[in-house]
Amino acid sequence: MTSFAFRQPPVVGLPVVGLETRFPVRRVYCIGRNYAAHAIEMGHNPDREPPFFFQKNPDNLDPSGEFPYPPRSSDVHHEAELAVMLKSGGSDISVESALDHVFGYALSLDMTRRDLQGGQKKLGRPWEIGKAFERSAPVGPIHPVSLVGHLSSGRITLKVDGELRQEGDLKQMIWKVPEMISYLSEYFELAGGDVILSGTPAGVDSVDRGNVMEVEVAGLGAMKVKVV
Ligand code: MN
């Protein structure tokens, strides 16, 4: 047994529907601009160009149902996303075999300090302060593939206080889930516990304290998250 110089940080464990055991998080990859209509609203080309990814931290994933409005920002945006949880991984995974590595799917939010992200973009700097802040990725319980199968189409929506803000269909993803897994595995060694946030449809916008965000994906139910 390794002994540590001080108390080791806990492994983040996410609840799984139908199981007492939790999903241990290893890494969090997020794809940018994966729905054409969202690429356009952000001022970018919607064509299928090579994908790009950024990362959040494992402990940014938060199943609590509350999102604390983060410091140092006055423009925090919601991005409703389908999260893909891996049970295994490797390098150079083929598109054909990629889904064999998926453990399950969950509703998630890629919360973004848009003002800080925008400043970093202008300077050509990394996005972490806009993306990888505390509790920046609210996430619902994981639905295992054994219960829900694989999701390649179906409506994805986000409401704020009951008003529809984001709407799309999973089939509009520019890079499909198996393609994302395969692509990432060319650059990183993937492993069980890795999480991929698969991008957001059009309609991203600001939230304020007191708002209730509700994400829905067909087949996965709904997740409510209150901004506090
Ligand atoms: Mn996103």
Q: How confident is the model at residue 46 (pLDDT cuts 50, 70, 90)?
A: confident
Q: How confident is the model at residue 47 (pLDDT cuts 50, 70, 90)?
A: confident
Distance from residue 202's CA to the centre of ligand 1 (Å): 11
In the block, residue with structure tokens 């890494």: 27
Calculate the alpha carbon distances from 206 to 9, 79, 113, 183, 188 in Å: 32, 10, 9, 31, 33
For the chain, the C-alpha Rg in angstroms (whole number) is: 17
Each residue of 175-189: pLDDT tens digit?
Answer: 999 999 999 999 999
Distance from residue 110's CA to the centre of ligand 1 (Å): 5
Average pLDDT value for the chain: 97
Each residue of 6-34: pLDDT tens digit?
Answer: 999 999 999 999 999 999 999 999 999 99
Question: Please, are residues 192 and 181 in contact by the beta-carbon 8 Å criterion?
Answer: no
Distance from residue 227's CA to the centre of ligand 1 (Å): 18
Distance from residue 7's CA to the centre of ligand 1 (Å): 33
